[in-house]
Structures are given as C-alpha cells and as structure tokens.
Amino acid sequence: MIPTILKQFGVCRSIKDYNFHLDKNGWPLVEECTKNFFVEYYPTAESMSAFDRLYRNTNGLQDKFMAYWDLVA
C-alpha cells in the first residue's frame, strides 16, 4: 500500500520516467525540464541520491558546497 501511495506522489520516480528529449551528452533539454514545476523533481530517485550524498558528505561534497558559499559570501 505505501509503495503505491508513494508512486502516486512521484516519490522515487526516476528522472528517466519523464521521457525527456536529451542533448548530445545525454542530459535532458532545458525546454523539457521546464514543462514541469521544479519542485516536482525533488522526490525523484536522482534528487534523493544527491541530497543523501550532500548530507553524508560523500567524497567531501558537503565540504565543497560550504567552501563555495564561503567564497560567494
């Protein structure tokens, strides 16, 4: 039951499920991405994975993120 409910809300849906047209590097075209509200992409598996890597500081990602904002500030 829970997986069905989560699927209805798009949780753990892959960005590939959107069937976007891709550029020569395999990235979704901006025109395709803007067809949906940005927040709709937050519960995708790719987004959740990126947040997980940030919060766990995988490969120093959080450190690099903080260094970036230190430089900007």
Per residue in 3-17, pLDDT tens? Answer: 566 666 656 788 888
In this prediction, residues 12-28 reach a mean pLDDT of 89
Residue pair 9/21 in contact (Cβ under 8 Å)? The answer is: no
Those residues whose C-beta lies under 8 Å from the C-beta of residue 18, and which sit 6 or more positions away, are: 28, 32, 36
28: three-class secondary structure by DSSP:
strand
Per residue in 29-58, pLDDT tens? Answer: 999 989 988 888 888 888 888 999 999 999
Q: What is the pLDDT of residue 38?
A: 86
- Domains of the chain, by residue range, sit at 2-72
Instruction: Identify residue 57 by its one-letter amino acid code.
Output: N
pTM: 0.67
